[in-house]
Amino acid sequence: MFEKQSKNVLILNILQILERHSDVRHRLTQSDIIRLLNDEYDMDVERKSITRNIDNLIEAGYDIGYEENKKGKGKNQTIVRTNFYYEHDFDESELKFLIDGIIFSKLLSSRQKKQLIKKLEGLSSKYFKSSLGKVSISENDRIKNEDLFLNIEIIAEAISKSRKIEFNYYTYDLEKKLVYKKNDKEEVKKYVVSPYQMVASNGRYYLLCLYDKHEDEITPLRMDRIINAKILNERLEKCKAFENFNLQKHMKEHIHMMSGESENVRLEFNRNILKDVIDWFGSDIILKKGSTENVIIADVKVNENAIRFWAMQYGENVTVKAPKRVVDSIKKQLKDMSQRYK
């Protein structure tokens, strides 16, 4: 039970009760609010005080819903507000959608997931039942970087100030522990980059940046691998690749977040993976009928390294037809793989 409080905070207590105990499906009468004020704040309040304070909250712009009932007849008829509820910013379906995204995130540790979900649950009434109770939050086989949110905050500030950042980068050792990436001298490697954009792709978070050693090429780096990030006084390097940068176009061309140039590629694939092709390359790709009813041809613009990886993933149902250089590269890769399996 809460400590007994002064009548001066009555309006705040009523607001808290509405936020915690009500939503569009669970409404409170004045009697309900009087009872809750007594149970939770040890306050004895008259009905007219409830009416006056709720009216003040509504006039102040708080999102409080209610029903209107007519009382009396003729000239003596008045409108009485009742069945009050707090209109929360998110409805239950929206919160469940956000929570499910957190539960199945590949980036977050179990502790981070639980903390975020608890905060989201606080955005609704006590009646909100998230999927947290139905889905077990357990660690998967990936080690998590607990500094992820701090990195996002630091890098966002650097981007807004047009400043370079410096950091170390994680990799795995044979014991599956996160260790610092090292240079040729076995020293902890220091990265200095010009950060431009943070993006989500395939359940992971990436930093699109200009890495000093890669001159004018957009380099994607995993946000969950960045550690010890700090903002430098140096201004961002200018990069032609980021002039008139189109994020949507870039993401469609770099389906596996690999660096390198994009190519105009022709694909020939089985109709049964059409939905997958559209999921990966977008609904605006050009489709043509192939040699048979079950064959479709598509022209896409995509990163060369990514299309080789993608073609292997859907190998039984897709053939890269052009350009010749990409086709030859895939042939060589398949030949090398075949040799390893002899």
Check whether residue 288 and residue 259 sit in a common domain: yes
Please tell me whether residues 124 and 169 are part of one structural domain: no
273 with 323, same domain: the answer is: yes
pTM of the model: 0.57
Count other C-beta atoms under 10 Å from residue 144's C-beta.
Answer: 19
User: Is 288 within the bounds of a domain?
Assistant: yes
Enclosing H/E stretch for 54: helix 47-59
Same domain, 35 and 102: no
Mean pLDDT computed over 298-304: 86
Q: Mean pLDDT lowest for which of 16-20, 127-131, 332-336?
A: 127-131
Q: pLDDT class for 86, splitting at 50, 70, 90?
A: very high
Whether 283 and 217 map to the same domain: the answer is: no
- Helices 47-59/30-41 angle, 10° precision: 100
Same domain as 46, residue 115: no
Identify whether 312 is part of a domain. yes
pLDDT exceeds cutoff 90 at 25: no
- At 28 the pLDDT is 95
| Strand 295-303 relative to strand 262-270, pairing | antiparallel
Is residue 262, in this structure, part of any structural domain at all?
yes
219 pLDDT more than 60? yes
- Identify the domain containing residue 160 by its residue range: 155-242
Mean pLDDT throughout 220-243? Answer: 85
Question: What are the tens digits of pLDDT across the range 94-145?
Answer: 888 788 778 767 677 778 888 888 888 888 888 886 545 544 555 554 446 6
Higher-confidence residue of 166 and 134: namely 166
79 and 98 fall within a common domain: no
pLDDT band at 164 (very low <50, low <70, confident <90, very high): very high
Give the model confidence (pLDDT) of 267-280 as tens digits. Answer: 999 988 888 888 78
Domain annotation covers residue 191: yes
Q: Do 204 and 173 share a domain, yes or no?
A: yes
Is residue 96 located within the same domain as residue 82? no
Is there a single domain that holds both residue 334 and residue 268?
yes
128 within a domain of the structure (yes/no): yes
**What percent of the chain lies above the pLDDT cut of 70?**
84
Number of domains in the chain: 4
Low-confidence winner among 76-90, 186-200, 203-217 (lowest mean pLDDT): 203-217
Final residue before a domain boundary, out of 133, 164, 197: 133
Mean pLDDT across the chain: 82
- Percent of the chain at pLDDT exceeding 90: 28
Q: What is the CATH number of the domain that holds 42?
A: 1.10.10.10
Same domain, 53 and 125: no
Whether the Cβ atoms of residue 127 and residue 105 lie closer than 8 Å to each other: no
Q: Is residue 198 part of a domain?
A: yes
Out of 86, 101, 118, pick the residue that ends a domain.
86
Q: Which residue, of 49, 65, 86, is where some domain finishes?
A: 86
pLDDT tens by residue, 70-82: 777 767 777 788 9
Phi/psi at 262 (5° precision): -95, 150
So what's the pLDDT on residue 131? Answer: 47
pLDDT band for position 254 (cuts 50, 70, 90): low
Query: Do 180 and 225 have their domain in common?
Result: yes
Please give the pLDDT value at position 320.
Answer: 92
Within-domain flag for 213: yes
Is residue 26 pLDDT above 60, yes or no?
yes
Q: Note the pLDDT of residue 141.
A: 45
Burial of 158 (0-12, 13-18, 19+ CB in 10 A): buried
Q: What is the mean pLDDT of residues 320-329?
A: 90
Asked if residue 148 is part of any domain, the answer here is: no
